[in-house]
Amino acid sequence: MKMTSTKGGARARLLTSTLLAGLATVAAPLALTAVATAIPTLASAQDYTSGTLVGTVTDTSGAPVADATVVVKSLRQGFERNVTTDSGGQFRVPLIPTGGYSVTIKKGGFQPLTDSNVAVRLGSQSNYGFNMLAEGEVEAVVVTGAANPQLDFAQTTTGTVLDVETLVKNVPVVRNVTALTLLAPSAVEGTAAFTTQGLGQASVGGSSVGENVFYVNGLNITNFINGIGGALVPFDFYKTIEVKTGGYAAEYGRGTGGVINAVTKSGSNDFTFAVHGNWEPGGMRAHAPDTFQTTNSRVGQSYKDVVLEAGGPILKDHLFFYGIYQQPDTKQTTAAKIGNYYGVRKWDDPVWGVKLDGYLTSRQHLEFTYFDTTFTRTQQRYKYDGVTDTIGAASSQVIDNFGGPSYVGRYTGSFTDWLTVSAAYGKTKFSNDLINSPFDKPQVVDTRNGTSVTISDQTVAASTTPSEATREFYRGDVDIYFKLFGDHHIRAGLDNEKTTFVNFGVRNGGQNWTIRKNRTATVNSQGFAPGQEWFDLRTFTGGGEFQGENKAYYIQDAWDITDRLTLNLGFRRDNFLEQDSAGQAFSKFEDLDALRLGFNWDPSGDRQNRIYGSYGRYYLPVAANTAYRAASNNLDVRQYFLPAGGGLYIGTPAATNPLTTPSTGGLTAGTGLPTAGLGPVVTRTTNPTFTNLAACTQLFLDRGVVSVPVGTQACAVGSAGVAPPPESISALNVKATAEDEYILGYEHRFNSLWKANVNLTYRTLLRAADDAAIDPAVLAYCDAHGYARFTAAGDGCEETWSGLNQYLIVNPGENVKAVLYAPLPGETDLRTIELSAADLGLPKVKREYTSLEFSFERSFDGKWGLQGSYVLSESKGNFEGAVKSDTGQADAGITSDFDTPGFIPGTYGLLPNHHGHQFKLFGSYAVTDNFLIGGNASLISPRHYGCQGLVPDNIPNSSASNTYGTLPAHFCGGKLVPRGSAFKGDWIKKVDLSVRYTIPETILPAGNLVLRVDVFNLLNSHGVQEFYEQGDLTSGGPDPHFGEPGSSSGTVGSGYQTPRYVRFGFDLAF
């Protein structure tokens, strides 16, 4: 580990100026030689599921050919569109399915022209030039293969479009949407703590993994619970995936990261049937080195599946079907040293999907998509001794219920050449249940020796069931084309979605137990003496049904002012609403206005060079998990007990170093519970500096808290078991999380195969809506206005706002208008008070991302193809975003970043998703007609780490701040360690290799059989993916594992990149 330092704003300014200079060097020569003309080109349309074909027809001298008849025919589904070129020789066919088309052009005095190799890409304008020969120039035949691809001047979106069908045939890729997303420039892998439906996620463009948006055939499948990932889709159902990394049009919203937009396969006029098989043998999988958390030599996975595909016409040229069925069989093993278990997880539930397409006429398209990914994972856990590497008897079982059904119906109608209308309706649903057996036994974790180790047979703290998310939506869009000082394409629409989240959680066995010890020579901030051992019991129970609604409308104009200059002018207005379990709105953001502006300029006039730029504002909606955590009847209470008899030790004290060495005995084998029971409860009287302890109420006891006399100040309250007044959850003047983005770029097409791009991107977070405990500020308000801290009635300010009790969603760094969640002493009504940013002690949110991106593509021509990128970037600030990677927190909108003043110092620095250099390269080469080699390589520079630990005693509210299980403060050993300044991790190097062999038709004439072998991490690199960043123990003293490979959040994972493994497969198509 190399020690590094984090500089201030000077470094960011230097990086920005360097990147701008580099971009200017590329673009300036073209700008100096460009000459604009006054002939407009055709504006065009594309949406979530389609693309647009635009062509320019000229004669051999370059003059436009007007009034030519153009017939565009789908090669798969047979429908035709008939159009005529305008005075500039141009034609447009908007909003058609992606894929291959033939184009036939006829005009009197010219020879007919046909090209059957024209492709329309997803979400973009596919531009082609066609050159017609006059009669008599050559022998009068139909000219073929005349289409010349050109650059897309209709949009400013950055990112990449992946033809999944072709990609998996040519290149080794992991079979999930995250692996495809990571092929895009600026996309980097998130930490192991952030998974959705068992799938890891990607950070895009400097945003966190909880800020991306996912669509399939126009259906928003984003996980609205916490924003991390989306609903699962059968992998072989994907046809095309577009990863938008920036510059989105106004119709896209509800995210501040990337947009992952996918289209599924569909039927055609040809009946097709295919069988695919994949096998990843566990015996050919390598192992990463062991860590203090996991015995990686016992970590493994075997996987196999069979996939069936069928499609074809129900009514030729008009009605088509496509279906997919996948039968997987997965087995995973892990050995958790700190979890004290060896786990064997299995699942084999089938997933499937179907797509129907109907054409009432060639201009009226109906489509319906349905897929179901419901599956159950069962993990049998066994007792495991990580020291002796011994597996024992079965101990517990963990069941995950994931996935669910989704469907969407769409209509697209082109009524005239200037009017297209589309509409959609759909629903997506997925479960996220976590069920444990035995349910009535608590998890007991012993942290006394400096490492958190589960000592009970129960290895999971809580069960969550039911947990189910449902989104229902409808939308309508219209596209209008007209001429007014150039050509305009106006696209406008509205969409509405209603969300429902049902979630209930409870701690297994009533509470989860943590055994702690003060390993320092001084009394700690919570009042525990040196060497003191104690029990930390957490009771958490509650839940409900939470509904939300998001509305938006937008309008955008693609205005071709000249044939070289296009302006993109867009406006979007969002409204976000989230309700508590009683149906009352606690978060309501209205009239969130966003401009989306851009330009495309052709400096050379041949549509082979493009200078472009854009500005956009994006908003992030409130996560449904915020309702569950902050606006429900959840009870979250911690209690602290000394050993039986009230002594220092639970068992027999160690003969040497009893201060730091745990006592022995006193705990029951199997359950981990104290043999002699609990001792005295810790109170504000016994530990006066433990200011987070409040009165235990009868409600707490009724909901399962360990019984103590009512009124005893012995309960650290996270949630009080009663839904707070909705107006007291969010500040009355809070605003939605917002981000601004600026992009400037240049793209050049060298020929029909090669093109390259360079762009500079700058993103800045304007503000964030996140929670903070306002207790210290309320106490200061009470002191200033004469309210008593303690009263005979027990309703004094410090008795109500002691430690961390009222969390309020605010815009950190801004003034707050707050409704208190309880009356002030002597009052009966809830009071509204105003607190300044200085009163709260919170800084303004900062997150800046600057990148210079170089990318190129050499299209596969049957022989070879190659695509690659390099990104130089910096991601810096005091707020990562919707998640908190350095502690593994996935609570969007309620992270611990601004909870207390003690968490603020040292937060500014290089963020966890900062990787200054990213190299990516993938492609394939056909050695012969039957033998193809593919490769996929990446090189990602290290993540920068800090050191997290206990808040020093001289900072207010330190005792309450230090009750967090995973410490978020940027202090270690009492010293400030700014974020990203302690050390940096490893370069992550990956090389994947694939081989494809097509069986000759002379051997297998009945079908097309391809045999596949993919080797992932060919060199078996052991780069550390994540280092342990906790420098202090919660109970005091240094954490001995700081800086070692492992997860700071305690997530069971290897800590290293995935070791080498092999996948065999076959594809048989008829």
pLDDT value of position 62: 86
Q: Are residues 782 and 891 in the same domain?
A: no
Which candidate, 1019, 1025, 1011, 1022, places its Cα nearest to that of 993? 1019
* Burial of 498: CB neighbours in 10 Å, binned 0-12, 13-18, 19+: middle
Q: Are residues 336 and 217 in the same domain?
A: yes
Q: Does 15 score more than 70 pLDDT?
A: no
pLDDT value of position 33: 35
Number of neighbouring beta carbons within 10 Å of residue 360: 12
CA distances to 315, 431, 968 from 353, in Å: 20, 18, 43
Q: Are residues 960 and 1008 in the same domain?
A: yes
pLDDT value of position 75: 87
Ramachandran angles phi, psi of 454, nearest 5°:
-75, 125
Cα atoms in the 13 Å half-sphere on the side-chain side of 144: 5
User: How would residue 138 be classed by pLDDT, with cut points 50, 70 and 90?
Assistant: low
Q: What is the pLDDT of residues 234-279, one digit of tens each?
A: 999 999 999 999 999 999 999 999 999 999 999 999 999 999 999 9
Q: Are residues 547 and 576 in the same domain?
A: yes
- Asked whether residue 329 is domain-assigned, the answer is yes
**Is the CB of residue 425 less than 8 Å from the CB of residue 495?**
no
Q: Are residues 754 and 821 in the same domain?
A: no
The CATH number assigned to the domain holding 905 equals 2.40.170.20
Number of neighbouring beta carbons within 10 Å of residue 699: 14
User: How would residue 5 be classed by pLDDT, with cut points 50, 70 and 90?
Assistant: very low
Q: What is the pLDDT of residues 950-1005, one digit of tens each?
A: 999 888 888 888 888 889 999 999 999 999 999 999 999 999 999 999 999 888 87
Q: Does 11 score more than 60 pLDDT?
A: no
For residue 70, what is the enclosing H or E element? strand 69-74
pLDDT value of position 143: 52
Q: What is the pLDDT of residues 582-615, one digit of tens each?
A: 999 999 999 999 999 999 999 999 889 999 999 9
**Is the CB of residue 299 less than 8 Å from the CB of residue 292?**
no
Q: Does 145 score more than 60 pLDDT?
A: no
pLDDT value of position 1051: 67
User: How would residue 135 be classed by pLDDT, with cut points 50, 70 and 90?
Assistant: confident
Q: Does 48 score more than 70 pLDDT?
A: yes
* Burial of 139: CB neighbours in 10 Å, binned 0-12, 13-18, 19+: exposed
pLDDT value of position 1052: 65
Instruction: Give the whole-number percent of the chain exceeding pLDDT 90.
Output: 75
Q: Which of 786, 815, 840 is the last residue of a domain?
A: 840
- Asked whether residue 385 is domain-assigned, the answer is yes
What's the mean pLDDT when you consider all of the chain? 90
- Asked whether residue 656 is domain-assigned, the answer is no
Between CA 1025 and CA 977 the distance in angstroms is: 22
pTM of the entire predicted model: 0.90
**Is the CB of residue 689 less than 8 Å from the CB of residue 959?**
yes
The CATH number assigned to the domain holding 93 equals 2.60.40.1120
pLDDT value of position 960: 83
pLDDT value of position 35: 29
* Burial of 605: CB neighbours in 10 Å, binned 0-12, 13-18, 19+: middle
> What's the whole-number mean pLDDT along residues 638-652?
95
Query: What is the count of structural domains for the chain?
Result: 3
> What's the whole-number mean pLDDT along residues 80-93?
89
DSSP lists the bridge partners of residue 111 as none
Q: Which of 150, 182, 205 is the last residue of a domain?
A: 150
Instruction: Report which of residues 42 and 705 the model is more confident about.
Output: 705
- Asked whether residue 27 is domain-assigned, the answer is no
Q: Does 491 score more than 90 pLDDT?
A: yes
Between CA 429 and CA 553 the distance in angstroms is: 24
Q: Are residues 972 and 943 in the same domain?
A: yes
Q: Are residues 874 and 891 in the same domain?
A: yes
Instruction: Report which of residues 49 and 319 the model is more confident about.
Output: 319
Q: Are residues 294 and 255 in the same domain?
A: yes
pLDDT value of position 45: 45
Q: Are residues 900 and 802 in the same domain?
A: no
Q: What is the pLDDT of residues 882-918, one digit of tens each?
A: 999 999 898 888 999 999 989 999 999 999 999 999 9
Between CA 471 and CA 475 the distance in angstroms is: 13
- Asked whether residue 319 is domain-assigned, the answer is yes
- Asked whether residue 11 is domain-assigned, the answer is no
Instruction: Give the whole-number percent of the chain exceeding pLDDT 70.
Output: 94
- Asked whether residue 389 is domain-assigned, the answer is yes
Q: Are residues 558 and 620 in the same domain?
A: yes
Residue 492's domain spans which residues? 160-632+737-768+845-1069
The position carrying tokens 């966003």 is 594
pLDDT value of position 161: 92
CA distances to 42, 263, 323, 1068 from 927, in Å: 42, 31, 33, 21
- Asked whether residue 864 is domain-assigned, the answer is yes
pLDDT value of position 763: 98
Q: Does 1 score more than 60 pLDDT?
A: no
> What's the whole-number mean pLDDT along residues 131-135?
87
Q: Does 400 score more than 70 pLDDT?
A: yes
CA distances to 32, 686, 760 from 604, in Å: 10, 80, 21
Q: Which of 796, 820, 840 is the last residue of a domain?
A: 840
Q: Does 848 score more than 50 pLDDT?
A: yes
Q: Are residues 763 and 788 in the same domain?
A: no
Q: What is the pLDDT of residues 711-769, one digit of tens each?
A: 999 999 888 888 899 999 999 999 999 999 999 999 999 998 999 999 999 999 999 99
Q: Are residues 84 and 226 in the same domain?
A: no
